[in-house]
Structure 1
Amino acid sequence: MPGVSVRGLSYEERRQLAVNLTRVLSLYRSILDAYIIEFFTDNLWGTLPCSWQEALDGLTPPQLATLLLEVPREGEVVRYRSVWPLTLLALKSTARALAFTRMPGFQTPSEFLENPSQSSRLTAPFRKHVRPKKQHEIRRLGELVKKLSDVTACTQVVDVGSGQGHLSRFMSLGLGLKVKSIEGDQRLVGRAQHLDRELLQTLEKGDQRNPQGVQASPRRSPHHVVRWVDATALCEELLLPLETSPRGGARLLLTGLHACGDLSVALLRHFSCPEVAALALVGCCYMKLSDPGGYPLSRWVAALPGSQLSYRLREGACHALEEYAERLQDEAPGLRTHCYRAALETAIRGARPELRRPGVQGIPRAHEIKIEQYVRRGLQRVGLDPQLPLDAAALGAQQAQENRVVAFFSLTLLLAPLVETLILLDRLLYIQEQGFHAELLPIFSPELSPRNLVLVATKQPLGQAFSLLETEDG
């Protein structure tokens, strides 16, 4: 989907975009704040303007993908079956115009053309134990970090929230960077160290088979540290160099691949430390941001009326619009689960009015059973009597509104990128308010990795060097 490119915006234009976003989000907050499981209990369909109801009612899932989300199939011609109200058309245009573009410089990652489960740009040892999505991510982010490290003369990379160490391993053993890997879970660190040893053995065997290809300098595994990084305090371990640079103090590059919630905030706050020269951050899990503290970070956004973002808005910003559009185009049977869960919520509140939006353990193959079976199993999962009397006619009437439920949820997904844009824009402005430089680049294929925008920050302006970071997938 098209959208705003950060690279084309001045500092003042970024601030004005924040103003526009808060105004638009305030205007459509009733849609964004809605929980789809309350579709029937809160009459969500009735909250839409009548003209919107007329335009959306009866649309099939593929039509919703094409007409509302504007994600048509390749070669499909977009044709409206009726004249849509200007207010709904304006919503569509606004959602597309104000959101950061998530489309990188390639359509389909060429690395998977030969084999959809193996990246052709990673050698077999680096693909082992790594799913295709993660293969794509560690290669793209790792190569960007290598370029950013070169242009900013960094001496060490610090991978924060490194998990099993796939990114750290690729950067150190694949790209030759000095990497410190910080992870708070001892079990994940133990697994990472095991995979390090396994990879080193594989690479050494390859060297023995091909002595001419042996690299001159010895390979260095990542240096793993078990440490929780707090968003509210500086972490000394994060800032300590692995070794003293002969040219003076260390120049660190901080990175995090899908740094969850406040971990992204911690990286942003550590960027102001003198030891840190650059940052490459891909965030996620916005609903886990501390409130207050995790958002807003910038003085500008904090002062804007309507800048507050509820848990529901931040959670919605993590949905995968492209993946959902594909489900709509395929008319995936699982789409009806929205309607089933909303019907279950009605039954739950009928039995216990004070019990609202309880977590329901997943019901296997829910779309293959009848709605009454689903509701009874759901009642049992929340501790209620599954044999409670149910109104079969009411359940049938609710199931008949299945496409309306999907249409309303599609509206929330249409607006969700605006929330993510405001959160990321707040981070850009936070960096710039400190006198530093920040850009935002779409780095991953959004179909593979929905959270695909990397925030790149430096202490000195890089000018045209940022173009070096935006290489297309070759």
Structure 2
Amino acid sequence: MSEPILTSGELLARFQALDSFLLQHQALWRPRPFYHLRLPWEAELPELAAWLRSRSLEQAQASDSDLFALAAPAPFTELARQAQALSQLGELPSRDAPARSPNLSVDVPGRKLAQIQAFASHLQFQQQPTHWLDWCSGKGHLGRWLTQTDQRLTCLEYDPALIESGSALSKRLGLDAMHLQQDVLAGDCSERLSKEHTPVALHACGDLHVRLLQLASRNGCSQLAVAPCCYNRIAGKQYQTLSTAAQASALQLSRDDLGLPLSETVTAGARVRRQRDQSMAWRLAFDLLQRQLRGIDEYLPTPSLPSEWLSKPFARFCHDLAALKGVASPGEQDWATLEASGWQRLAEVRNLELLRNLFRRPLELWLLLDRALYLDEQGYSVRLGTFCDYQLSPRNLLLLAERA
């Protein structure tokens, strides 16, 4: 039996169940293993903690791709069962897309094109759109793919270079498209949306897609489609709830919490994974070093570093990072042992993260349901489901809304 999508009458019950689950177990998913030598929950679950810490980095990476099947000590299996049940969500109905010109795929990366095609095939509205509005459009690839004969297209984008490239592509294809420079968070953006528009957003980040939901509902757009991304890209330090149900919840989310659903790496290539692993292992080794040098047993945040830093010898990496953070010079250390400790910590961190990762999808669905319930309160009929395979994009949830 296929999993169901969620519609307006079913949103609140699922939200409340997820809310209860996340609140009950927040001590397990809020602390980040990367920041702690020992996690607060380890004292209460010593068997699970010891089992996870005993495993290799390779085992952690293999398990993360099939998390719900991992035969770990209690309460892991039961939590996995609950998380999986609460996260069930089916694929939205799709249709065969009309034939499109091969020219539309020019300059579109392969994975992005597949995501656009999947997104487009799941857009089914009662009223045929007459004027698409591609929100945070980049070069407008999504909008061009959607636009048929007798339809218009407006693309809103902040980056002038992307606007110029997108406009040139549209002109070359003979499309009736306007590419407009717009900060969608600015006050004057409201003037860009009207009742005639069908706004679409494929992987618009945090505040950007929330802004669309607010303006589209306020300005009378009768239908819209949003596949959110990067929930942690918000201006404030705390998440601002949208719906009445979320506002009544005791669950308060920080910007750091909002990053949990984004912690998968299914779309990363082998080279990127190797660089990420080296960066994290070296940072974890430096964390051990800085605790010793500062005499303070707590994590010291470090900034994102250019990839060139990973080409340095490990000792130079630590010296330079200490200088960058104003930490005393490390002097001479047993660098080989310290680096090995960093890699060992990485294996432990990745395995300890498996417990936290059980809550990735439940938290993401909680966030989507907050958005869906908000639109429901604005008079929309809402459908929530998936639009593509998880391997094509982990951010595969699509929110469709329409009102008479």
Give the alignment's TM-score, normalised by structure 2: 0.83
SS for the counterpart of 1:86 is coil
Q: How big is the shift at 1:287?
A: 0.8
The answer to whether the 8 A contact 1:104-1:444 is kept is no
Relative distance call for 1:378 and 1:5 in structure 2 (3 A) is farther
Tell me the distance in 2 between the aligned counterparts of 1:254 and 1:437.
16
The answer to whether the 8 A contact 1:338-1:405 is kept is no
The answer to whether structure 1 residue 135 and structure 2 residue 113 are counterparts is yes
Q: How big is the shift at 1:229?
A: 2.0
The answer to whether the 8 A contact 2:319-2:329 is kept is yes
Tell me the distance in 2 between the aligned counterparts of 1:123 and 1:301.
44
Q: Is 222-231 or 334-343 further displaced after alignment?
A: 334-343
The answer to whether the 8 A contact 2:383-2:400 is kept is yes
Tell me the distance in 2 between the aligned counterparts of 1:49 and 1:181.
52
Give runs of aligned pairs for residues 138-287 of structure 1, distance below 5 A. Answer: 138-145=116-123, 147-148=124-125, 151-172=126-147, 177-197=151-171, 199-200=172-173, 219-230=174-185, 235-239=190-194, 251-273=196-218, 275-287=220-232
Equivalence for 2:5: 6
Q: Letter of the aligned partner of 2:183 in structure 1?
A: W
Unaligned runs of 5+ in 1: 73-77, 112-120, 201-218, 240-249, 461-474
Relative distance call for 1:323 and 1:4 in structure 2 (3 A) is farther
The answer to whether the 8 A contact 1:163-1:189 is kept is yes
Equivalence for 1:442: 386
Q: How many residues align?
A: 397
Which of 25, 29, 46 lines up with 2:26 in the alignment?
Answer: 29
Tell me the distance in 2 between the aligned counterparts of 1:88 and 1:52.
8
Which of 344, 364, 369 lines up with 2:286 in the alignment?
Answer: 344
Q: How big is the shift at 1:339?
A: 3.3
Q: How big is the shift at 1:19?
A: 2.3
Tell me the distance in 1 between the aligned counterparts of 2:279 and 2:254.
25
Query: What per-residue deviation string (whole Å, max 9, x for no partner) do you get for residues 349-380 of structure 1?
Result: 444559821214134484x9886565345435
Relative distance call for 1:233 and 1:459 in structure 2 (3 A) is farther
The answer to whether structure 1 residue 49 and structure 2 residue 45 are counterparts is yes
Give runs of aligned pairs for residues 406-417 of structure 1, distance below 5 A. Answer: 406-417=350-361
The answer to whether structure 1 residue 375 and structure 2 residue 330 are counterparts is no
Equivalence for 2:399: 455
Relative distance call for 1:53 and 1:169 in structure 2 (3 A) is same
Query: What per-residue deviation string (whole Å, max 9, x for no partner) do you get for residues 190-233 of structure 1?
Result: 22112223x32xxxxxxxxxxxxxxxxxx433112222223778
Q: How big is the shift at 1:449?
A: 2.0
Tell me the distance in 2 between the aligned counterparts of 1:50 and 1:294.
32
The answer to whether the 8 A contact 1:159-1:254 is kept is yes
Root-mean-square deviation (CA, aligned residues, Å) is: 3.7
Which of 7, 16, 20 lines up with 2:13 in the alignment?
Answer: 16
Q: How big is the shift at 1:400?
A: 3.3
Q: Letter of the aligned partner of 1:90 in structure 2?
A: E
Tell me the distance in 2 between the aligned counterparts of 1:412 and 1:285.
18
Tell me the distance in 1 between the aligned counterparts of 2:232 and 2:161.
25
Q: Letter of the aligned partner of 1:97 in structure 2?
A: A
Tell me the distance in 2 between the aligned counterparts of 1:21 and 1:105.
24
Q: How big is the shift at 1:166?
A: 1.3
Equivalence for 1:59: 55
Q: How big is the shift at 1:48?
A: 6.5
SS for the counterpart of 1:287 is coil
Relative distance call for 1:225 and 1:319 in structure 2 (3 A) is same
Tell me the distance in 2 between the aligned counterparts of 1:270 and 1:286.
18
Q: How big is the shift at 1:440?
A: 1.3
Give the alignment's TM-score, normalised by structure 1: 0.72
Identity %: 21
